[in-house]
């Protein structure tokens, strides 16, 4: 079964690679223009020749493709002429910040959302549930950037307690704990915005999950066993509602990616998302391709890991 | 040990007019230490809610008392109740797919209540879990299995093992044998027998055979106790119409009669009848039944030999305004003699010789005997066609000759052997069928035709004008017999006497007519005296069988008893002699 | 359990308070913010080709001459002269200049730089016109030109960074030379840190700078999406802002730095295609388009109408003796009708064929395009707008596969050489117009006319021809606003920095004496400014603890319950 | 008085009311607005006034009119994407389910692969190269969002196939076409309806998301684009009447669709749901 899933992921990956490969070649004019065409980059004839040779544009489409595969395999994602650096280096510089932001926000979002979702679903119809459900239903419709901007307007622009963007205070000479606090200060707003916008749908998912298991007989069994409420809520209801919720989170990883993209752009947070946003604005196509490739690999890897882990977590899947 | 007094459970619901759904209503019973008790009833009767109420998990408003070990469980706080659960009372939920937490292994689920209640360490609990599994007959390698890996029977065993985990004094089991195959079911029942030796057991089931081995039985209907008592007595001789109907619907191995459902539907919980809950389906209801619900009181019990005998009511209680299944027809010491005038010698022949019996509301009694044994005479005496020489016949408590003729014949109708003989061949169908109504009078013509059509529809005859205008010779034997049945049914009789109604019909038509009669009996809740010479036929249709021989009623009893353990020599002859014939009939019905 | 939750929340809030309370401040430091931020490694071959990249590099590497708000000022060369006979420029170099590794700066370095850039071309200094460079003595170099070349001082002497020979002579891959030694220059600042992922630069002062101690100990460039936010937040001292933000910022003690006419929105016309190949038609378009309205709407009033000879009125080279094409629909109609078009139901038709244009744009210019579309449609030329991806647009324009297109470019106030790029260059924003022989000749001629007045005349002629032929229609010049606090005085450089960069980030603002030289302050200014800054901080101080107090009250409330 | 079932649920009633209101705004935008949203004749960047209740944008267009027309585009986009992708889902899912054999395995493998592909990546990639117009964007998004639905309909078809009346119809000699048209599709209507609502919500949200990062046909007016333009001036105090209203309208639209969607999800017991009800 994993074999089959793996093959699917490989096919999906190949499909994206092919798309990456074909798009510039489908564009009108010279693919070099499509790949590097940018009014701000002066392409000298020599450079153009050099690039043509580099991309084997004078050779058959197949050898071009094989070469393309080879360069990807060897970690060469192309060269950003706007950024004057290999794409892989640029991406590598931004990746840790994204991981920090996404890690904090998603950890927060998932923990809080699951907690609230469980408590709210368990108390379905009670006041707490009604309020939470109403609040998060509304937040669910608000785009993340919107939340971000409002946070900026309140906390950065008016109250001036937190920075409006960036990841660190540049050259403030902080070291050690000062540096950590500085990073944390910069992290608070974007992480909160991302957290809140992801929180809402995970909460709704979790609440729905709890509601769908709350009438299952094993919940009654748990109560009959004289277990305390919390054990039943977490070991019985949540544990069983969680698994489908996690699959859904896996499915909706695209949404998370989009959320990151937007939040990083709003907060000029120097991660992959902002990089992509900038690359889109400057049409730095090698960089766009490279980032998307990295994103694809990450998403596929996460999904595949979840696929592998899932049966280990859920005995129901294992024996179907 | 467990004493339940006037337990009432109701839920508020805003979608109901009354705002209240009453699930349990005034339940009282007690269970002594070490005793076992079964609760049966159709689904929706409140059985499971009763179990949940005892466990304190029914939700809703609970009133009354649930005394366990002297303490009213309803007075306990949640925390205190939590300690009672599983430690002192455990419950085996109905074995559905998700009754076990799918995310944990069997071992984790068995040990969980032990460790959570702080009874033992984790290791100790694990040892106990493996012990328990062996006790319920499972390999201990199932400990590491997840619920999805278990078969239905194994799951039931695990559930029971789990219920035993904290060594409770009382175990409540909800449908422990539902949806199990025969062998597994036997294994589980065996397990129940072992368990009830050590602790108290309350088994909830819709299946009477599951609770057959328990000491006491309670019959629950729409949240009220209908009947309660010793299990063996109750199963053999149900006194409440509901109990009887429930058992009739249940396929016991030794049942001879075809299965019959209980007519009508159970009332919905938010729209309960004000009177007796069973009144909407009862075949013997009277005015008071619809006015107020009956109390659960002691009742008389019929002895092994069919004689009446009273029991103080401790072990046998019943909730029925009419004191249980009502006797519709009571015949006491009936005698009738014929003067047989042949060859100038007049001989007195005893056609009926000191006949006594009872017919109860809603039952089918087959009167079996050879030709000339006095069956038809008895029928005619009972229907007031002949007068008996001596003896009394009470219909619904009244001496039949004192009853107004029209009223009597409205209630007591008869179907005759030879349909062609029994109808006026100049009459067409409409006339034939409406004749009793015309005789009864007081009815509009249109209403009469409507009733005729309705009755014909009921017995699957065409009701169009062409058919109504047909004459008896235009009809087949089966059709004609149906017409006579329609004629008999049109006055809504309470007692139907069918005198060899299928004697002139070929087997396949006979089968259809019999099915029809049984269906009509069931839906209309009639009492039927079915007269036949064929004991095999009697076995299939009747609740009880009377055997007659030369004017004597030699044996009467529950059909299965009569068939499987005939007591009278003549009965034995009939039964053994009929085996071949029965086989023949069986085959012809199938073909 | 609820107690625990309350405590957790309270603890988190306390943490936020603690974290919020620490605020950053720098004393002898100036922070400059910009939305794009990253400009590459600040060496000639390492920086991004965009103008901002050049600015970064210019802090480290000095050129021979430089410009301030009023024109050329000495840099590495104290003085310079042109010898007509030899067609050569002679530069007397500043002898105090030293490389930051301590080595003396000599004439050899200049010669080496020219040779090096000939081998490894540098986008910002086209050395095609230079024949050779002779070292006269340690302080003097003479640069001989191949032909007469008017833009020499601007384009080469004023733009070419001088490299240290002793470092670069071994370097054969300058783009990837990111050694510390690559950062040895003669400029006022030295790079301390460059972070690509944060798009930030940190420079510290070169205390041995030959033109005096730099004004700031540290200079920081950071990336910020919105200039107003970082300024108001105190995270930057200088940033580009929206014109509308100026008022608010000025109330907060910031000064506006304003520049216009450096940048141009332009309508490209496919003059290879019917009917656009007809001058009258193009003129009709020019009359039909209400450029005042474009300034008012698309530029929200912050900008000025473009002149159709391309050079803006603020340029020294501008002439007003050219057709202005003031908005005149009647005239446009006249011209169209002269071409045989008839207005039927509000749409011009010729030979039964309705006029219908497609305006191709990139997404960013939607608003401008919307207005143009409405104007043309109203005139009787129904126009549709199609947004394309930039490369596709460029490709279509280059292949003459379009009707009209929106384009944009800068370098307007630079040396008139820019006209050649605009009219005959090979870029997608060039009109590539070769039809007019006279224009072709004049363009060539001005490049080699060393006499500024004569050259001026030729350039005026060119503008007239342009405005008549209209190979493309310049629409309007948006204004550029920056805001800064009073740490230093910023200005837009005359004719733009180096080749005409439209940024107010002249490094002279960061060097004390030259900055003061360039814009001497009046006596009354200083106290006023200090007062504003005081009042600004006075209003800000109570703002800081307010939320902290609120949070604290909330925490107390939570714990008490 | 008869009350439709859906109106007995408070959430669904609120949701339905919201959707109807927004539909009315969108449908009657040309009659409600007293400004042409393309008309730039007013002074740019005005504050709200009685003439311009939400002020004007950077080129002097009336923001309220833009908002109403924007709702139009957003709804059109959402509903079109929803309809097309639903059609694809049903076609592929039902066809795979009813055909069986090689067609089934091929189609479902394709579906699984499509599920594995992160759609946002494809959209950005394609948009970066093509700058698609409204119609193309609808197509692209539809082509990228059918897969989850296809799984659901496939599973539903499989379970429906087991039903007696399908076997009975087969016994009477019904072919796949007949079964699909007469039995399967009508049986799937409720799920299709729920799917349609869920998808529409997703597409409307997606429109906003894409427009905000600059991937949307800029020649149209949509809620997302309105916000995209508003963001540029957000920090100048204009956000209150420029950024907030489209944000709120979007949130309300999504909320409306969500509430109705929840109602359907709860009503139709989607036990074998693999359908993504999410936004992306």
DSSP state of D56: B
Residues B92, B163: Cα–Cα separation, whole Å = 6
Quickly state the pLDDT bin for D18 (edges 50, 70, 90): very high
Please indicate whether residue A22 or residue C239 has the higher confidence score (pLDDT): C239
Mean pLDDT lowest among C135-139, C303-307, C365-369, D57-61: D57-61
A202: tokens are 């995970």
Long-range contacts at C69-77 (CB < 8 A, ≥ 24 apart): C69/C491, C69/C492, C69/C493, C69/C494, C69/C518, C69/C519, C70/C494, C70/C518, C71/C494, C71/C495, C72/C153, C72/C158, C73/C508, C73/C514, C73/C517, C73/C518, C76/C105, C76/C110, C76/C162, C76/C186, C77/C157
- Beta-carbon contacts of B133 under 8 Å, excluding residues fewer than 6 positions away, are B106, B110, B139, B140, B142, B143, B157, B158, B161
**Which of A171, A184, A228, A288 to mutate: most C Cβ within 10 Å?**
A171
Residues A4, A10: Cα–Cα separation, whole Å = 10
- Beta-carbon contacts of C458 under 8 Å, excluding residues fewer than 6 positions away, are C442, C445, C446, C449
* Residue A236 clears pLDDT 80, i.e. is over it: yes
C322 touches C269 (CB < 8 A): no
Burial class for B587, CB neighbours closer than 10 Å (0-12, 13-18, 19+): exposed
B228 touches B219 (CB < 8 A): yes
C116 touches C168 (CB < 8 A): yes
Quick: pLDDT tens for B141-169.
888 888 888 888 888 889 988 988 888 99
Collect all residues of chain A within an 8 Å Cβ-Cβ radius of residue C200: 170-171
**A226 at the B interface (CB within 8 A)?**
yes
Please indicate whether residue C28 or residue D3 has the higher confidence score (pLDDT): C28
Which pLDDT belongs to residue C18? 55
Residues B466, B463: Cα–Cα separation, whole Å = 8
Residues D8, A9: Cα–Cα separation, whole Å = 45
Neighbouring chains of A at 3+ CB pairs under 8 Å are B, C, D
Which pLDDT belongs to residue C403? 92
Q: Do domains B2-88+168-257 and B327-590 have the same CATH topology?
A: yes
Q: Per the CB < 8 Å rule, is C229 touching A165?
A: yes
Q: Per the CB < 8 Å rule, is A217 touching B93?
A: yes
Quick: pLDDT tens for D83-110.
999 999 999 998 898 887 888 888 988 8
Burial class for B261, CB neighbours closer than 10 Å (0-12, 13-18, 19+): exposed
Quick: pLDDT tens for D106-130.
898 888 888 878 888 888 888 877 7
In the CATH hierarchy, which fold is given to the domain comprising B2-88+168-257? Rossmann fold (3.40.50)
Percent of chain A with pLDDT over 70: 88
Distance from CA of A261 to the nearest CA of C (A): 15
Instruction: Determine the angle formed by the axes of helices A176-214 and A127-141, rounding to 10 degrees.
Output: 110
* Residue C348 clears pLDDT 50, i.e. is over it: yes
Query: What's the first-to-final CA gap in chain D, in angstroms?
Result: 41
Query: How far is CA B47 from each of CA B175, B216, B229, B319, rounded to the nearest angstrom?
Result: 10, 15, 17, 17
C53 touches C43 (CB < 8 A): no
pTM above 0.80, yes or no: no
Which pLDDT belongs to residue B35? 86
HSE of A37, CA atoms in CB hemisphere, 13 A: 24
Burial class for B547, CB neighbours closer than 10 Å (0-12, 13-18, 19+): buried
Provide block-wise average pLDDT over 10 residues at a time, chain B (591 residues).
87 75 85 87 84 86 88 88 89 84 88 86 89 86 86 88 89 86 85 87 87 87 87 82 83 69 76 82 82 75 43 64 83 82 65 86 87 83 85 86 83 84 82 83 82 85 86 84 87 87 80 84 86 85 88 85 84 76 50 44
Mean pLDDT lowest among B477-491, C285-299, C443-457, D27-41: D27-41
B238 touches B71 (CB < 8 A): no
Which pLDDT belongs to residue B582? 52
Question: How do the domains of chain B map onto residue ranges?
Answer: 2-88+168-257, 327-590
Chains C and B touch (3+ CB pairs under 8 A): no
In the CATH hierarchy, which fold is given to the domain comprising D5-277? MetI-like fold (1.10.3720)
Residues C350, C310: Cα–Cα separation, whole Å = 31
Q: Considering Cα of C144, then C145, then C148, then C152, what sign does the dihedral take? A: negative
The domains found in chain A, sorted by start residue, are 17-73 (no CATH), 95-319 (1.10.3720.10)
> C–D: how many Cβ contacts below 8 A?
61
Kind and range of the H or E run holding C436: none
List the Cα angle C10/C555/C546 in 5-degree steps: 125
Residues C457, C319: Cα–Cα separation, whole Å = 9
Strands (E) across C206-254 are located at: 218-223, 238-241
> A–C: how many Cβ contacts below 8 A?
139
**Which of A225, A237, A242 to mutate: most B Cβ within 10 Å?**
A225
Written as one string, the DSSP assignment of A242-278 is: HHHHHHHHHHTHHHHHHHHHHHHHHTT-TTHHHHHHH
Q: Say how far residue B482 (Cα) sits from the centre of its chain.
A: 27
Collect all residues of chain A within an 8 Å Cβ-Cβ radius of residue C220: 170-171
**Which of B14, B96, B99, B101 to mutate: most A Cβ within 10 Å?**
B101
Mean pLDDT lowest among A15-24, C275-284, C550-559: C550-559
Q: Among the residues of chain A, which ranges form H helices?
A: 2-26, 31-36, 45-54, 61-73, 87-122, 127-141, 144-151, 176-214, 217-224, 229-231, 239-251, 253-266, 272-282, 285-313, 315-318
Nearest C-alpha in A relative to C548? A161
| Residues forming beta bridges with residue B366, ordered by sequence position | B530, B545
Residues C497, C511: Cα–Cα separation, whole Å = 15
* Residue C282 clears pLDDT 90, i.e. is over it: yes
C380 touches C343 (CB < 8 A): yes
Strands (E) across B361-491 are located at: 364-369, 390-395, 398-399, 412-415
B353: tokens are 């010789």
Neighbouring chains of D at 3+ CB pairs under 8 Å are A, C
Which pLDDT belongs to residue D54? 86
Question: How do the domains of chain D map onto residue ranges?
Answer: 5-277
Token pair 């925490």 is found at C555
Instruction: Determine the angle formed by the axes of helices A2-26 and D119-130, rounding to 10 degrees.
Output: 10
Cis peptide, bond prior to residue C275, ω within 30 of zero: yes
Which pLDDT belongs to residue A29? 64
Q: Which of A39, A40, A57 is nearest to A48 (CA)?
A: A57
Q: Per the CB < 8 Å rule, is D40 touching C301?
A: no
Nearest C-alpha in D relative to C301? D44
Query: What's the first-to-final CA gap in chain C, in angstroms?
Result: 13
Q: With helix as H, strand as E and coil as C, how does B503-519 read?
A: CCCCHHHHHHHHHHHHH
Give ipTM to 2 decimals: 0.72
Burial class for C261, CB neighbours closer than 10 Å (0-12, 13-18, 19+): buried
Which pLDDT belongs to residue C526? 35
Which pLDDT belongs to residue B348? 73
B51 touches B202 (CB < 8 A): yes
Quick: pLDDT tens for A83-140.
677 888 888 888 999 999 999 998 999 999 999 999 998 988 888 898 998 888 888 8
Query: What's the first-to-final CA gap in chain B, in angstroms?
Result: 57
Quick: pLDDT tens for C61-101.
999 999 888 888 999 999 899 988 889 999 999 988 999 99
Collect all residues of chain A within an 8 Å Cβ-Cβ radius of residue C204: none
Which pLDDT belongs to residue B235? 82
**Which of A35, A37, A143 to mutate: most D Cβ within 10 Å?**
A143
Q: Say how far residue B226 (Cα) sits from the centre of its chain.
A: 12
A83 CB neighbour count, 10 Å cutoff? 22
Collect all residues of chain C within an 8 Å Cβ-Cβ radius of residue D233: 242, 244
Q: Per the CB < 8 Å rule, is A226 touching B83?
A: yes
Q: Which CATH class is domain B327-590?
A: alpha beta
Nearest C-alpha in C relative to D132? C388
C414 touches C384 (CB < 8 A): no
D254 touches D175 (CB < 8 A): no
Residues B590, B571: Cα–Cα separation, whole Å = 27
Residues B446, B457: Cα–Cα separation, whole Å = 16
Q: Which of B498, B526, B523 is nearest to B513 (CA)?
A: B498
Residues D73, D82: Cα–Cα separation, whole Å = 14
Residues A101, C184: Cα–Cα separation, whole Å = 37
Residues A268, C351: Cα–Cα separation, whole Å = 56
HSE of A45, CA atoms in CB hemisphere, 13 A: 1
Residues C94, D47: Cα–Cα separation, whole Å = 57
C297 touches D44 (CB < 8 A): yes
Collapsed DSSP state (helix, strand, coil) of residue B495: strand
Distance from CA of A176 to the nearest CA of D (A): 33
Residues C97, C415: Cα–Cα separation, whole Å = 28
List the Cα angle D269/D273/D278 in 5-degree steps: 110
Q: What would the mean pLDDT of A60-72 be, rounded to a whole number?
A: 83
D20 CB neighbour count, 10 Å cutoff? 11
Partner-chain residue, chosen from D126, D251, D279, that has the shortest CB–CB distance to A201: D279
C513 touches C78 (CB < 8 A): no
HSE of C267, CA atoms in CB hemisphere, 13 A: 30
Collect all residues of chain D within an 8 Å Cβ-Cβ radius of residue C481: none
């Amino acid at each position: 079964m994993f074999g089959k899933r793996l093959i699917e992921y490989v096919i999906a990956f190949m499909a994206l690679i092919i798309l990456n490969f074909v798009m510039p070649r489908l564009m009108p004019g010279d693919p070099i223009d499509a790949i590097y065409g940018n009014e701000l980059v002066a392409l000298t004839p020599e450079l153009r020749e050099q690039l043509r040779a580099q991309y084997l544009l004078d050779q058959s489409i197949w050898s071009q493709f094989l070469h393309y595969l080879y360069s990807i395999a060897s970690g060469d994602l192309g060269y950003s002429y706007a950024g004057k650096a290999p794409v892989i280096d640029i991406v590598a510089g931004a990746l840790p910040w994204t991981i920090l932001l996404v890690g904090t926000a998603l950890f927060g979002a998932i923990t809080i959302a699951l907690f609230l979702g469980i408590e709210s679903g368990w108390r379905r119809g009670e006041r707490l549930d009604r309020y939470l459900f109403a609040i998060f239903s509304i937040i669910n419709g608000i785009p993340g950037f919107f939340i971000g901007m409002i946070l900026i307007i309140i906390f950065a622009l008016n109250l001036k307690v937190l920075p409006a963007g960036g990841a660190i205070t540049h050259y403030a000479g902080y070291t050690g704990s000062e540096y950590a606090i500085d990073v944390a200060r910069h992290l608070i707003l974007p992480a909160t915005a991302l957290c809140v916008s992801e929180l809402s749908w995970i909460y709704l998912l979790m609440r729905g999950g709890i509601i769908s298991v709350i009438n299952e007989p094993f919940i009654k069994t748990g109560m009959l066993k004289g277990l305390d409420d919390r054990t039943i809520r977490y070991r019985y209801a949540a544990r069983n509602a969680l698994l489908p919720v996690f699959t859904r989170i896996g499915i909706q990883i695209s949404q998370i990616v989009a959320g990151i993209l937007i939040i990083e752009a709003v907060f000029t947070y120097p991660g992959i998302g902002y990089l992509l946003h900038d690359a889109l604005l400057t049409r730095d196509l090698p960089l766009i391709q490279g980032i998307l490739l990295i994103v694809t690999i990450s998403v596929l890897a996460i999904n595949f890991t979840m696929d592998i882990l899932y049966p280990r977590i859920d005995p129901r899947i294992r024996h179907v | 040990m467990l004493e339940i007094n006037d337990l009432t459970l109701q839920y508020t619901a805003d979608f109901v007019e009354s705002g209240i759904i009453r699930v349990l209503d005034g339940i009282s019973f007690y269970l002594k230490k070490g005793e076992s008790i079964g609760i049966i009833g159709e689904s929706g009767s409140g059985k499971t809610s009763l179990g949940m109420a005892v466990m304190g998990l029914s939700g809703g408003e609970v009133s009354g008392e649930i005394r366990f070990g002297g303490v009213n469980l309803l007075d306990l706080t949640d925390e205190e109740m939590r300690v009672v659960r599983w430690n002192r009372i455990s419950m085996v939920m109905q074995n559905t797919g998700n009754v076990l937490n799918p995310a944990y292994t069997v071992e984790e689920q068995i040990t969980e209540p032990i460790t959570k209640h702080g009874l033992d360490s984790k290791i100790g609990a694990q040892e106990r879990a493996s012990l328990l599994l062996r006790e319920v007959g499972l390999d201990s390698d199932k400990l590491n299995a997840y619920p999805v890996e278990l078969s239905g029977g194994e799951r039931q065993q695990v559930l029971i093992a789990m219920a035993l985990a904290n060594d409770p004094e009382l175990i409540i089991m909800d449908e422990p044998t539902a949806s199990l195959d025969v062998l597994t079911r036997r294994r589980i029942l065996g397990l129940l027998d072992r368990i009830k030796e050590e602790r108290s057991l309350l088994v909830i089931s819709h299946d009477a055979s599951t609770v057959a081995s328990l000491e006491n039985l309670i019959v629950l209907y729409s949240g009220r106790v209908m009947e309660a008592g010793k299990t063996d007595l109750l199963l053999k001789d149900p006194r409440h119409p509901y109990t009887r109907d429930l058992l009739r619907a249940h396929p016991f191995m030794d049942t001879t009669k075809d299965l019959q459902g209980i007519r009508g539907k159970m009332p919905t919980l938010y729209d309960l009848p004000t009177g007796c809950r069973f009144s909407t389906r009862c075949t013997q209801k009277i005015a008071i039944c619809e006015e107020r619900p009956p109390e659960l009181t002691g009742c008389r019990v019929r002895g092994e030999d069919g004689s009446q005998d009273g029991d103080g009511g401790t072990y046998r209680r019943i909730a029925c305004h009419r004191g249980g299944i009502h006797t519709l027809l009571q015949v006491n010491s009936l005698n009738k003699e014929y003067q047989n005038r042949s060859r100038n010698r007049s001989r007195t022949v005893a056609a009926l010789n000191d006949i006594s019996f009872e017919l109860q509301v809603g039952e089918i009694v087959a009167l079996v005997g050879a030709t000339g044994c006095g069956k038809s005479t008895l029928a005619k005496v009972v229907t007031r066609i002949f007068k008996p020489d001596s003896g009394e016949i009470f219909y619904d408590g009244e001496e039949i000759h004192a009853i107004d003729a029209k009223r009597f014949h409205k209630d007591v109708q008869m179907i005759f052997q030879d349909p062609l003989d029994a109808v006026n061949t100049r009459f067409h169908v409409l006339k034939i069928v409406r004749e009793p109504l015309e005789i009864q009078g007081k009815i509009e013509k249109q209403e009469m035709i409507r009733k005729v059509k309705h009755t014909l529809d009921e017995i699957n005859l065409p009701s169009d004008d062409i058919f109504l205008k047909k004459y008896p010779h235009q009809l087949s034997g089966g059709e004609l017999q149906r017409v006579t049945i329609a004629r008999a049914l049109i006055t809504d009789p309470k007692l139907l006497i069918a005198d060899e109604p299928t004697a002139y019909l070929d087997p396949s038509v006979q089968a259809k007519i019999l099915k029809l009669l049984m269906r009509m009996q069931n839906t209309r809740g009639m009492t039927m005296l079915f007269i036949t010479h064929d004991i095999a036929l009697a076995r299939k249709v009747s609740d009880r069988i009377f055997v007659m021989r030369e004017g004597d009623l030699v044996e009467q009893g529950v059909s299965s008893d009569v068939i499987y353990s005939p007591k009278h020599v003549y009965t034995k002859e009939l039964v053994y002699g009929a085996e071949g014939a029965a086989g023949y009939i069986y085959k012809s019905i199938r073909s | 359990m609820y107690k625990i939750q309350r405590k957790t929340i309270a603890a988190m809030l306390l943490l936020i308070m603690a974290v919020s309370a620490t605020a950053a401040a720098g004393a002898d430091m100036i922070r400059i913010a910009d939305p794009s931020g990253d400009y590459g490694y600040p060496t000639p071959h390492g920086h991004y080709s965009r103008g901002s990249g050049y600015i970064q590099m210019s802090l480290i590497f000095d050129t021979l001459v430089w410009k301030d708000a009023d024109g050329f000022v000495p840099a590495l060369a104290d003085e310079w002269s042109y010898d007509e006979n030899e067609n050569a420029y002679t530069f007397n170099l500043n002898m105090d200049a030293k490389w930051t590794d301590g080595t003396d700066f000599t004439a050899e370095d200049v010669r080496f730089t020219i040779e090096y850039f000939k081998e490894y071309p540098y986008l910002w200094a086209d050395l095609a016109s230079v024949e050779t460079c002779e070292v006269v003595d340690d302080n003097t170099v003479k640069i001989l030109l191949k032909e007469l070349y008017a833009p020499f001082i601007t384009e080469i002497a004023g733009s070419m960074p001088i490299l240290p020979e002793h470092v670069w002579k071994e370097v054969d891959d300058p783009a990837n030379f990111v050694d510390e030694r690559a950062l040895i220059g003669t400029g006022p600042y030295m790079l301390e840190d460059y972070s690509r992922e944060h798009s930030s630069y940190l420079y510290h002062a070169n205390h041995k700078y030959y033109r005096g101690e730099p004004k700031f100990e540290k200079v920081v460039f950071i990336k910020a999406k919105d200039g107003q936010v970082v300024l108001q937040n105190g995270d930057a001292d200088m940033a580009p802002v929206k014109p509308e933000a100026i008022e608010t910022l000025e109330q907060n003690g910031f000064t506006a730095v304003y520049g216009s006419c450096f940048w141009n929105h332009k309508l490209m016309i496919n003059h290879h295609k019917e009917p656009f190949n007809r001058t009258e038609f193009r003129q009709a378009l020019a009359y039909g388009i209400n450029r005042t309205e474009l300034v008012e709407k698309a530029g929200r009033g912050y900008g000025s109408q473009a002149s159709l000879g391309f050079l803006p009125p603020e340029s020294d080279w501008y002439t007003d003796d050219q057709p202005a094409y003031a908005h005149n629909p009647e005239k446009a109609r006249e011209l169209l009708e002269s071409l045989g078009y008839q207005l039927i139901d509000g749409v011009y038709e010729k030979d039964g064929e309705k006029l219908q244009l497609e305006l191709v744009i990139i997404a960013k210019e939607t608003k401008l395009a919307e207005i143009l579309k409405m104007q043309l449609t109203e005139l009787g030329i129904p126009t549709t707008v199609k947004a394309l991806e930039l490369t596709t647009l460029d490709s279509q324009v280059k292949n003459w596969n379009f009707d009209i297109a929106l384009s944009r470019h800068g370098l307007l106030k630079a040396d008139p050489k820019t006209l050649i790029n605009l009219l005959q260059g090979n870029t997608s924003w060039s009109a590539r117009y070769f039809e007019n022989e006279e224009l072709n000749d004049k363009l060539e001629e001005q490049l080699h006319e060393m006499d500024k007045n004569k050259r001026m005349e030729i350039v005026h002629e060119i503008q007239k021809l342009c405005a008549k032929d209209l190979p493309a229609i310049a629409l309007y010049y948006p204004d550029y606003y920056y805001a800064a606090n009073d740490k230093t005085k910023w200005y837009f450089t005359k004719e733009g920095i180096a080749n005409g960069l439209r940024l107010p980030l002249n490094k002279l603002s960061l060097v004390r004496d030259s900055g003061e030289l360039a814009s001497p302050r009046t006596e009354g200014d200083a106290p006023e400014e200090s007062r504003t800054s005081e009042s600004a901080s006075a209003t800000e101080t109570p703002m800081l603890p307010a939320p902290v107090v609120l949070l604290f009250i909330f925490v107390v409330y939570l714990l008490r319950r | 008085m008869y009350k439709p079932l859906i109106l007995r649920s408070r959430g669904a009633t609120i949701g339905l009311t919201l959707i109807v209101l927004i539909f009315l705004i969108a449908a009657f935008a040309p009659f409600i607005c007293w400004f042409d949203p393309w008309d730039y004749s007013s002074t740019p960047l005005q504050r709200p006034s009685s003439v311009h209740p939400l002020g004007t944008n950077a080129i002097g267009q009336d923001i309220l009119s833009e908002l109403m027309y924007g709702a139009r585009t957003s709804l059109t986009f959402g509903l079109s994407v929803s309809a097309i992708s639903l059609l694809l889902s049903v076609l592929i899912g039902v066809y795979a389910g009813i055909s069986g054999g090689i067609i089934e395995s091929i189609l479902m493998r394709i579906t699984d692969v499509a599920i594995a592909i992160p759609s946002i990546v494809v959209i950005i990639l394609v948009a970066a190269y093509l700058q698609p117009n409204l119609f193309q964007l609808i197509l692209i998004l539809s082509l990228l969002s059918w897969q989850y639905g296809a799984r659901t309909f496939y599973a539903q078809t499989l379970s429906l196939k087991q039903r007696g009346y399908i076997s009975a119809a087969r016994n009477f000699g019904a072919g796949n076409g007949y079964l699909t048209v007469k039995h399967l599709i009508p049986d799937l209507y409720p799920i299709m309806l729920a799917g349609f609502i869920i998808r529409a919500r997703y597409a409307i949200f997606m429109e906003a998301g894409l427009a905000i990062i600059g991937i949307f046909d800029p020649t149209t007016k949509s809620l997302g684009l309105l916000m995209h333009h508003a963001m540029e001036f957000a920090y100048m105090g204009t956000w209150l009447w420029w950024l907030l209203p489209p944000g709120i309208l979007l949130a309300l639209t999504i909320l409306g669709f969500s509430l109705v969607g929840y109602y359907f999800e709860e009503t139709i017991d989607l036990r074998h749901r693999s359908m993504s009800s999410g936004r992306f």
